[in-house]
Amino acid sequence: MSNIQASATALEQAIRESDEFKDLKGAYDAVMTDEIAKKMFDDFRNTQMELQQKQMQGIEITQEEVDQARKVVETVQQHEQISKLMEQEQRVNELINNISRTITKPLEELYGSEA
């Protein structure tokens, strides 16, 4: 196994054992085992994905869709378990972004060296 693969696997294990990931898993499981919360969360994710896909395909998003999406967000934010899950997702995203910045430093330094 290369140094890189060994280091990547060690990092994967560190992520798995981190408070951030464990808390995310706890929050995710809490939502997924609550039928109503799960349905609300699934609706929220589906709405988000539909809008994202439209944006990527350059399809115009109507005011009605924007309003509808805002309503769904407001509803899930008021749900304690879902809002906790979204908070934990945010924390893990930040963690992954920090890792990403660290491991792409060699490339940034290389490409940033051009005057």
Residue burial 38-47, b: 16+ Cβ < 10 Å; e: rest: eebbeebeeb
> Binding residue for Ca ion (CB under 5 A) from 7, 9, 10, 19?
19
In whole angstroms, what is the distance from residue 26 CA to residue 91 CA? 13
**How near is the Cβ of 21 to Ca ion at its closest, in Å?**
11
Q: How far is the CB of 104 from its own copies (least distance, A)?
A: 7
What's the min distance (Å) between Cβ of 52 and its own copies? 13
Exactly one of 23, 30, 32, 91 binds its own copies (CB under 8 A); which one?
A: 32
Binding residue for its own copies (CB under 8 A) from 1, 63, 64, 107? 107
- Phi/psi class of residue 61: alpha, beta or left (left: φ > 0; alpha: ψ in -120 to 50)? beta
